[in-house]
Chains A and B, each alone.
Chain A
């Protein structure tokens, strides 16, 4: 990536009493990328993002957003950024359209909020009070509010928590279109598939530290995790042919269910060719490519949901 760093974080540290929430974290976010932070509950994502937003003050380290210090020069930064907080409510009796109209009034040249309302599927709810919205609708409203000033940089703390699968995908498209306008996006998420498919770069955070940071593809490749092919035999058969394939490291047979594990993207082709050659009939063939979940498990030593 050859563009400017929009966010620069160096040796960020934040403690709460005995808890070290963020410990010596350094990274940069560049213009025009979707930067994601993943990690388990309490990993320090919200603490990091809120220090960058200027809502919390770090104990050590330096933060620059558009070259400015969020603790000292926050006013200029505020105009250019949009923020969706992990936990924040609006006044229970505030209506959806009023919230948009209100937040639009804080900025010099806000977006047309009628259009945002439509993009986020909230048109029907425009006259509903905040307290009467469902969790996902509240979340979508918060996303709309984060985008209302047409920000150069947008923070989403848990972008799609509480959204149904369809709304999640719609949100991904929306975020990509924002990125394609040249905007920068910093998000945190619990969903590995979201980080993998949506983010240009991903930082894996664990116990207050960033333990891996790269594009999803590089993270997956660097791991050298093997892919798997799983299929069901139609009739009992010897599957020695699979063992002798180059790159295969493991073959497991459990009744008529067979698992072949090995390196290389061509594994599935090789397995299928070998089976065909031997005349072995099979069904229900599936391949499992290594994904970010595997990376996470490998670098942290524990599952995402622990």
Chain B
């Protein structure tokens, strides 16, 4: 794994130099927080939790979708289209090192986005939390991994960086608005909530919100199953279809 850490640190810098990626991961969730928090406040309503308390796990799901689905897909397909992957292929660097460094950097960015969100919500709205910290971390890890796997699949399917971007966006926006990530679930019509079940992000929102409320894992076996299957299938498919060019 010679070169791995250097590659990861460079990818990290490159991520921060990409204004839109950094904005949607780090800043946009805070904007959502302040807009919704400003309108609805954070008065306790549902088993002692307010709207902000319930929005934080949903926005976390949004961050996961942003990095896993959009950033990962675009950065891998762009690297392929530019010939960067091909250039790497002429060095002793392994595909595992390349892909792992991407995942590591995006995982750190996702975590950073979530931590910023937590801090802002705590300071401004006195964020409340009923769950178990370890459970939430586990749920966060599982959700992130399954979305990274999804991003890898898209990056493998797409022929060009342009089509990767279109595909990522075509999945991202409906999910954002129909899964309960950006718009709270209780605002969505019943039909949308039902059909929202086919969207992977819905399961992330439900799992993270449930764990946040302190619900046991046994209440969320369906979500866990969906995310685990997505992760495994995604990894197998992307390993089989990996292309340098």
**Among residues 84 to 136 in chain B, which have CB atoms less than 8 Å away from a CB atom of chain A?**
84, 86-87, 89-93
Can you add 10 more A-B contacts, CB < 8 Å, to A89-B84, A93-B14?
A: A78-B91, A85-B87, A87-B83, A88-B83, A90-B82, A93-B17, A102-B6, A105-B3, A107-B91, A145-B87
- Whether the pair B86, A88 counts as a contact (CB closer than 8 A) is yes
B18 within 8 A of A: yes
- How close is B72's CB to chain A, nearest CB, in angstroms? 15
- Whether the pair B91, A106 counts as a contact (CB closer than 8 A) is yes
Q: Which of A85, A94, A98 contacts B90 (CB 8 A)?
A: A85
Given contacts A53-B90, A78-B90, A102-B7, contact A91 B2 (CB under 8 A): no
On chain A, the residues within 8 Å of B84 by CB distance are 88-91
- Whether the pair A85, B92 counts as a contact (CB closer than 8 A) is no
A265 within 8 A of B: no
**Among residues 125 to 162 in chain A, which have CB atoms less than 8 Å away from a CB atom of chain B?**
145, 149
Q: Which of A81, A85, A90, A108 contacts B2 (CB 8 A)?
A: A108
**Among residues 230 to 285 in chain A, which have CB atoms less than 8 Å away from a CB atom of chain B?**
none
- How close is A138's CB to chain B, nearest CB, in angstroms? 12
- Whether the pair B10, A94 counts as a contact (CB closer than 8 A) is yes
Interface residue range, chain B: 20 to 34
Complex Cα distance, B3 from A79, in Å, reads 13
- How close is B13's CB to chain A, nearest CB, in angstroms? 7
A20 within 8 A of B: no
Q: Which 7 A-B pairs have the closest CB atoms?
A: A88-B83, A105-B6, A83-B90, A89-B82, A106-B3, A105-B3, A93-B17
Given contacts A53-B90, A78-B91, A103-B91, contact A93 B18 (CB under 8 A): yes
Q: Which of A88, A107, A145 contacts B82 (CB 8 A)?
A: A88
- Whether the pair B10, A102 counts as a contact (CB closer than 8 A) is yes
18 A-B pairs (CB sep. < 8 Å): A53-B90, A55-B86, A78-B91, A78-B92, A79-B92, A81-B90, A83-B90, A88-B87, A90-B82, A91-B14, A91-B79, A94-B14, A102-B3, A102-B6, A103-B91, A105-B2, A107-B91, A108-B2
Complex Cα distance, B93 from A79, in Å, reads 10
- How close is A89's CB to chain B, nearest CB, in angstroms? 4
On chain B, the residues within 8 Å of A83 by CB distance are 87, 90
What is the interface of chain A mostly: helix, strand, loop, or mixed?
loop
**Among residues 197 to 227 in chain A, which have CB atoms less than 8 Å away from a CB atom of chain B?**
none
A75 within 8 A of B: yes
Complex Cα distance, B90 from A79, in Å, reads 9
- Whether the pair B90, A55 counts as a contact (CB closer than 8 A) is yes
Q: Which residues of A contact B (CB under 8 A)?
A: 53, 55, 75, 78-79, 81, 83, 85, 87-94, 98, 101-103, 105-108, 145, 149
- Whether the pair B82, A85 counts as a contact (CB closer than 8 A) is no
Complex Cα distance, B86 from A78, in Å, reads 13
- How close is A139's CB to chain B, nearest CB, in angstroms? 14
On chain B, the residues within 8 Å of A92 by CB distance are 82
Q: With CB as the reference atom, state the residue of chain A lying closest to B4.
A: A105
- How close is A94's CB to chain B, nearest CB, in angstroms? 7
- How close is B135's CB to chain A, nearest CB, in angstroms? 38
- Whether the pair B2, A107 counts as a contact (CB closer than 8 A) is yes
- How close is B69's CB to chain A, nearest CB, in angstroms? 20
- How close is B88's CB to chain A, nearest CB, in angstroms? 8
On chain B, the residues within 8 Å of A145 by CB distance are 87
- How close is A282's CB to chain B, nearest CB, in angstroms? 55
- Whether the pair A106, B92 counts as a contact (CB closer than 8 A) is yes
- Whether the pair A85, B83 counts as a contact (CB closer than 8 A) is yes
**Among residues 5 to 23 in chain B, which have CB atoms less than 8 Å away from a CB atom of chain A?**
5-7, 10, 13-14, 17-18
Q: With CB as the reference atom, state the residue of chain A lying closest to B10.
A: A102
Complex Cα distance, B183 from A74, in Å, reads 51
- Whether the pair B83, A105 counts as a contact (CB closer than 8 A) is no
Complex Cα distance, B86 from A98, in Å, reads 18
- Whether the pair B83, A89 counts as a contact (CB closer than 8 A) is yes
- How close is A61's CB to chain B, nearest CB, in angstroms? 21
- How close is B205's CB to chain A, nearest CB, in angstroms? 33
On chain B, the residues within 8 Å of A106 by CB distance are 2-3, 91-93
On chain B, the residues within 8 Å of A107 by CB distance are 2, 91-92
On chain B, the residues within 8 Å of A88 by CB distance are 82-84, 86-87
